[in-house]
Amino acid sequence: MPRVRREKCPNSIYHVIVRGNNREDIFKDYADCMCYLSRLKRYKEKFKMEIYAYCLMTNHVHLVIYDNGQDISKFMHGLSLSYAIYFNKKYDRCGHVFQGRFTSLLVRSDEYFVYVSKYVHRNPVKANIVDDVLQYNWSSFKAYMSEKDKLEIVSTERLLKYFSDDVKKGKKIYLSYVRNIEDEGEAEAASVLETSGSVQNDEEQNKKR
């Protein structure tokens, strides 16, 4: 069966999902997560892209990326290959770490951009890993609530401006927005993902752990 052509549009925002091969774990400990994030920082600087949100789950990753006119496929290939080399060496294994091609969904509107950030940040809550978004250490949400991103990966200004020009007020409103489970925007984001055949099964698998 031929591959579906990946939709690309220069200077756009994408919601990217990468999965472990056969839905296997790709993060086994603290060092693995930090290793992936350090590589994410390295490649976003190399390609001069902006990361608006991320969430590392046990067997998959969510990224919200502004491509800045660069080739997102080359960016993801470099990032994934770099991490796969590390992972295989550390665990004395060979073969694929990630499952096939990554999924990329073009963010076509400001509304969907805001919605999908919530979807990404609420992943650990929906998977019953934590009770509150602020309890999870491997997403970009804490960077939005802090004075600055300690890892220097996430660009927070664009998203927070949708809520207020005042940074402190914007953070407060965004926290309330992400914590609110009754929101049509999150349902829209989930519907798009499920229609695209993305990570619904992976998230169900995480719930069982």
pTM score > 0.95 for this model? Answer: no
pLDDT of residue 100: 83
Which domains does the chain carry? 13-193 (3.30.70.1290)
Q: Please give the structure tokens belonging to residue 47.
A: 């390609």
Q: Measured between alpha carbons, how far is 20 from 58 in angstroms, rounded to an integer?
A: 9
Q: How far is CA 37 from CA 69, 115, 130, 154, 199, in A?
A: 22, 23, 20, 11, 20
Asked if residues 51 and 16 have their Cβ atoms less than 8 Å apart, the reply is no
Residue 144, Cβ neighbours under 10 Å: how many? Answer: 22
Q: Measured between alpha carbons, how far is 121 from 35 in angstroms, rounded to an integer?
A: 20
With vertex at residue 112, the alpha carbon angle to CA 159 and CA 124, rounded to the nearest 5 degrees, is 75
Predicted confidence band of residue 127 (pLDDT cuts 50, 70, 90) = very high
Q: How far is CA 193 from CA 52, 59, 86, 93, 186, in A?
A: 18, 17, 29, 31, 11
Q: Please give the average per-residue pLDDT across 185-192, as a whole number.
A: 58
Q: Measured between alpha carbons, how far is 120 from 51 in angstroms, rounded to an integer?
A: 13
| pLDDT 10s digits, 142-183 | 999 998 888 999 999 999 999 999 999 999 999 999 999 866
| pLDDT 10s digits, 9-47 | 668 999 999 999 998 999 999 999 999 999 999 999 999
With vertex at residue 155, the alpha carbon angle to CA 5 and CA 50, rounded to the nearest 5 degrees, is 30
Residue 115 backbone dihedrals phi, psi, to 5 degrees: -60, -45
Q: In the predicted model, is pLDDT for residue 104 greater than 80? A: yes
Q: In the predicted model, is pLDDT for residue 191 greater than 70? A: no
The closest alpha carbon to 36, from 15, 11, 18, belongs to 18
Residue 110, Cβ neighbours under 10 Å: how many? Answer: 11
DSSP string for 134-198: GG-SSBSHHHHHSSS-TTS-B--HHHHTTT-SSHHHHHHHHHHHHH-S--HHHHHHHHHHHHTT-
